[in-house]
Every structure is written in structure tokens, then in C-alpha cells.
Structure 1
Amino acid sequence: MTKRSKRILAVASGGGHWVQLLRLRPAFEGFEVTYVSRDPSSSQDVPDARYFTIGDASRSQKLAFLVVILQAFWILLRTRPAIIITTGAAPGLVTLALGKTLFGAKTIWIDSIANVEKLSGSGGLAAKFADLRLTQWPDLADDSVEHWGAVL
């Protein structure tokens, strides 16, 4: 296993997305994990790991999206991950897309447990860039989205 093959970039917006990502930490054992989220204080949740802050954006905030794209690109340049895993939302999708297309990273999208009736908008867009898409609800699984259980 090369040094790069042991690098994971774990990305999540704040709140429930961040909580769900943190619950996956045991699965990252043995890897060099860098975390990315919106709140600088979230670095306290992962004191032994590298941590970057990223902005947030919505479809109506074009300038904010540009900032998130630039931040994600900079983080990817600094970390060079082999795997990117995200529980959403926009910052995770942007990082996933850039990491897949520009850096050849393997990518995993885990849709939020809050999306009970359908996948999130970002989860739908992630189909273009995710090597694996997971839902936390068995009823939402189909040929393109797998269900392995719930994070919470």
C-alpha cells in the first residue's frame, strides 16, 4: 500500500452531516484522515487529525460556490487523498466532484439520514462523481444507490 493509498479526506457540512461523519471514524482506523467542515471549532472533535475549514453555498449563491470550489481545490492540492468520503452537503459534493475529476480519487457519498422519502439534491448530483452512493434508508436503495445500514 502506497502512502497516498492510505489517505482519506472526510468532508461534511456542519450539524447532522458532521455528526454522521464522526460516527464513521472507527472505519477509518489505519488511514491518514484529514477532516473538512464548516465550523473551525469542529477541529476539537478530531484533535489528532488534520482539519480544514470550508465555506458553504446554495444554488442561488454563485459567488459563494466559487469560493467553496477554490477552497476545495486548495484542500485537495494539500492533501492528495486516495479516497474522499462525504455525508454532504454542498461542500462535500464540490470536493467529491473535484477530487474525482481532477485527482482521480475514489469517492463515496453517504446521503443524510434526514432524507427519508428521497435522496437529497446533492445526493442526486453525486451520481456523476461518486464511485459508491449509500442511503441510510432501505426503501431508497436501487441499482445506483446501496443501503448498508444507518450511521445513527
Structure 2
Amino acid sequence: MDAKKKNGRPRRVLAVASGGGHWVQLRRLIPAVAGSDAAFVTVQAEYGSDLPPDCRFYCVRDATRWDRWGLLVLCFQLLRILLRERPDVVLSTGAAPGYLALRLGKLLGARTIWLDSIANVEEVSLSGRRIGPHADLWLTQWPHLARPEGPHYLGSVL
């Protein structure tokens, strides 16, 4: 990812993931956002210690599709972060926080990237299937899951 915009300022990136493997995969993308003005969002406060000191960090509520109240709270938390950060790009490796961040980021004019979970070897994740058509770039880690309409396989990035 080109770290600078045409005006010379660093590209603002908001990287969002739920916990566990999604967070581990997002952390592996830190070198890809080097040189950008990056902020990270996840669901566990202790994950902030995994990041370089120059990265901003936000912790949001963890919610699933079965927790409607939790999703609403999460949606408002993410909207507040997006309005504060005003990212050029919203990047996610998955689940509910990433899905909502991409949808909201897109509404606010950000470019969006969804990298489907490396754990999904047999099929694209449910979140990936739902967000894919709305993402500017939808990627999979597995060549056999790639389709012309997406997700796309551009090599293993994790």
C-alpha cells in the first residue's frame, strides 16, 4: 500500500479486527501499513500492547450477529472512531467489527479492503460473503476460493 497521498501527507489507515485469529492476522499486516498514519481497533484492551508505540489503538465492544444490542453499541463506537480518525483506507481481517467498520467507512468516503481469514480454507467466511460486494478490494488467502467477482487471490499476504 502506498503510504503517502498525492498531497504528501501520510495515508490514514484504520485497521479493524475482532479477537483471536483475526487479530493475529491483522497484526501480521503491520509492515504493509508502515509509513502510513495507522490506527488499530479490536475487542480486547490488552491487544494494544501488541502494536508499535506510534500506532493509535481503540478497544470496542465484541458482538456477534445474535447480539443485536451489542451490534448497535459496536456500530456507534466504530462511527465515533471513524469520525475521529477520518481514514483514507479501512482494512479488516474479519468478523463483526471489521464488517461494520468497512460499511461505515465506505459511507464516509474511505476506500475499503477486506482480507478474508486464512482459517477459511474450505469456503469464504460469512462476514466475507456479506462484505465482499461492498469492499473496494476483497482478498482471499487461498487460490481455489478466488472468483472473478471476488474474492481475489493476489498471492499469500499473510
TM-score, normalised relative to structure 1: 0.94
State the 4+ residue runs in structure 1 displaced beyond 4 angstroms.
Answer: none
Question: Structure 1 residue 24 and structure 2 residue 29: aligned?
Answer: yes
Aligned pairs for 1:52-91 (under 5 A) are 52-91=58-97
In the alignment, the residues of structure 1 paired with residue 18 and residue 64 of structure 2 have an alpha-carbon distance, to the nearest angstrom, of 12
In the alignment, the residues of structure 2 paired with residue 79 and residue 42 of structure 1 have an alpha-carbon distance, to the nearest angstrom, of 19
**Runs of 5+ consecutive residues of structure 1 not aligned to the other structure:** none
Which residue identity does 2:17 align to in structure 1? Answer: A
TM-fit CA distance, 1:151: 4.0
TM-fit CA distance, 1:15: 1.0
SS for the counterpart of 1:147 is: coil
TM-fit CA distance, 1:4: 7.0
Q: Give aligned-pair identity as a percent.
A: 50
SS for the counterpart of 1:150 is: coil
Report what 1:106 is aligned to.
111
TM-score, normalised relative to structure 2: 0.90
SS for the counterpart of 2:106 is: helix
* Maintained 8 Å contact 1:4/1:80: no
In the alignment, the residues of structure 1 paired with residue 67 and residue 91 of structure 2 have an alpha-carbon distance, to the nearest angstrom, of 24
Q: Give aligned pairs, total.
A: 151
CA RMSD of aligned residues (A): 1.4
- Given the alignment, which residue of 119, 141, 145 partners 1:140? 145
